[in-house]
Structure 1
């Protein structure tokens, strides 16, 4: 699921959506930006020391750090460790991406620093992008259908 999201967030991907998914995510999170900023980088499984972020999107003056959950539980101090390793990035936005509303159990030191996002909301953002751009790759629609089938609660 996370790799599919990373694909859609890459503005030069062969998905045919350009920056529309990234722009939709930025808007949803309240981050100023369009996705067209120079130097946007999408990193899957970014690692710092023994801590791994599922997805990190680096913009020129903002950073999105995503901890994505489908069925797994949080690991020991996971959200606090992620926050500690990425808190000095430009305007970091920490996102806890889950199937539905889920209590963050490992954000003690970083309580209040994490924004909730659901896979259903990701599907909505992707669907809005796909309907606004003619010629989206078939895989885009497959990904949205998968999100809708498995992550609606």
Structure 2
């Protein structure tokens, strides 16, 4: 087990509006505010989105199974922010529901907002972390500066 210790820095509340891309706007905001590490909580709705709902088979490296949703799904989600190869790397997970259907997984590529998404972004300071490609799994994983014996 790896870990790093830090403090809570700045806290932002953000509104992402109808038609905007949730993923792109979060990335843009995090870069503009120079946030290196942190977490994001969000709620709202999406007009359309792509969600990875797990692997096709539970093998390493995984082959992602994807779903595309359309037509106003409710969202509740959480994300982590760590430095990546090309700036802040954001890993977003969400639960999405419409009627009696629900999905959970990793939000990827696009997520067009329907009406609004409200996000709370909490910055971490003093955390030593980076997200890098893990050769064994083929997945970008966070790497921390300490190991718990």
Which TM-score tier does this pair reach, normalised by the shorter chain?
A: under 0.3
TM-score, with structure 1 as normaliser: 0.24
TM-score, with length taken from structure 2: 0.25
RCO comparison, higher one (Cα < 8 Å, 6+)? 2
The structure carrying a bigger helix percent of its residues is 1
